[in-house]
Structure 1
Amino acid sequence: MTHFIYLVRHGEHLDAEHGLVDGPLSPRGQRQASLIADRLSGVPFDSVWHSPLERAAETARILAERMPSVTPESSALLFDCVPTGLDADVPSVYEPFFGSITDAEIDAGRAQMADAASEFLMRRQGETHELLITHNSVISWLVREVLQAPDWRWMTLNQAHCGLSVIAQKQGRPWTLLTHNDLAHLPFELRTGLPETHPV
């Protein structure tokens, strides 16, 4: 028996490029959500959880329209957050990221992710399929947890809007990363949300 957790980042939200921290999905974000919903429509989900933020809640609603047997529930453990701060292990290239982040925000994020790992990475009985619709940092942290990588490495793991990552645990075995940021369901023009990369 295996416990599967499907991790989906919310769709692109409206006016995200203008610096708004939350909002409804953009038309592109709605298409992204519809396509991940189609991709996952055959999975027998036991539960669907989403961040309380609007962009994640709307993504969950679009999925639920294609999966009438599930009722998405909100979880504060899936809020967007910053789970670690700047310490000696963090490469200096990441220093600018922490410029506007307060110690209180980091402490809250660290505590939230500890609780999220305890809650969601707890072994369930029998064959279980859970879906978490959340944010880049939360997915990065849970994947990092599964890989048992150093804490700061969550910053090197990124997910596109409505990208799919899957982790799983067979009875008596450690958690395993099955797939990370799978975008096969999204055409190229809908693959948004990843950091800019420049060829060497």
Structure 2
Amino acid sequence: MTHYIYLVRHGEHQDAEYGLEDGPLSGKGQRQAAAIADRLSGLTFDAVWHSPLERASETAKYVAERLPAVDPQPHALLFDCVPTGMTEETPGTFEPFFGSYSEAEIEAGGAQMADATAEFLVRRNEEVHELLITHNFVISWFVREVLEAPEWRWMTLNQAHCGLTVIAQKPGRPWTLLTHNDLGHLPHELRTGLPDENPI
């Protein structure tokens, strides 16, 4: 019996280029969401959770259209967040990134991700398939946690819009990263969201 968690970053949203925090999916984001929904349509999910932010909620609606048996639910632990600030191990090149976040925001992000991993990375005694539609940094934190990497390494992991990451745990074994940022369902023109040069 294996516990599978499918992690999907939301589709591109309309206001991303204007620096706004949230907004509906862009036309390209809608196509991305439809593509990941088609990719997942052959699976049977026990639960589908999504960030309450609009871009993730709308992505979840596309999945629900193709999997009518599922009822996606918002989950506060999947909000976009910054899980850590600078640590002693964090390379100095990352320091400018944290200038736009307050200590309170970073502290809240760390608490959120501690609760999220405690809630979702729970050993199950049955076959379970869960889908989490969330944000880049949240997925990075889950992957870092599964790999037991130093905390700051979440900053070196990135997911494209509607990229698919799968983690799993078999009884008596640690969590395993099965696939990371799989984009096989997206044509080249829909592969957005990855940095060109900046590792953030």
Q: Normalising to structure 2: TM-score of the pair?
A: 0.98
Letter in 2 for 1:76: A
Q: 1:78 and 1:91 mapped to 2: Cα distance?
A: 27
Deviations 1:41-76 (A, max 9, x none): 011100000000000000001110000000000000
Q: Give the equivalent residue in structure 2 for 1:128.
A: 128
Letter in 2 for 1:165: T
SS in 2 for 1:68: coil
Q: 1:15 and 1:53 mapped to 2: Cα distance?
A: 13
Q: Normalising to structure 1: TM-score of the pair?
A: 0.98
Question: Gaps (5+ residues) in structure 2?
Answer: none
Question: Gaps (5+ residues) in structure 1?
Answer: none
Letter in 1 for 2:175: W
Q: Give the equivalent residue in structure 2 for 1:94.
A: 94
* Alignment of structure 1 residues 23-34 onto 2, 5 Å: 23-34=23-34
1:188 corresponds to 2:183: no
Report how far residue 88 of structure 1 moved. Answer: 1.7
Q: 1:125 and 1:8 mapped to 2: Cα distance?
A: 24
Q: Give the equivalent residue in structure 1 for 2:140.
A: 140
Letter in 1 for 2:94: Y
Report how far residue 100 of structure 1 moved. Answer: 1.2
Report how far residue 197 of structure 1 moved. Answer: 3.3
Report how far residue 87 of structure 1 moved. Answer: 2.1
Q: Give the equivalent residue in structure 2 for 1:83.
A: 83
4+ residue stretches of structure 1 with deviation over 2 A? Answer: none
Deviations 1:148-189 (A, max 9, x none): 000000000000000000000001100000000000000011
SS in 2 for 1:109: helix
Q: Give the equivalent residue in structure 1 for 2:163.
A: 163
Q: 2:87 and 2:31 mapped to 1: Cα distance?
A: 39
Letter in 1 for 2:129: H
Q: Give the equivalent residue in structure 2 for 1:6.
A: 6
Q: 2:72 and 2:2 mapped to 1: Cα distance?
A: 22
Q: 2:87 and 2:123 mapped to 1: Cα distance?
A: 32
SS in 2 for 1:86: coil
Letter in 2 for 1:110: G
SS in 2 for 1:167: strand
Q: 1:83 and 1:177 mapped to 2: Cα distance?
A: 20
The alignment covers a number of residue pairs equal to 198
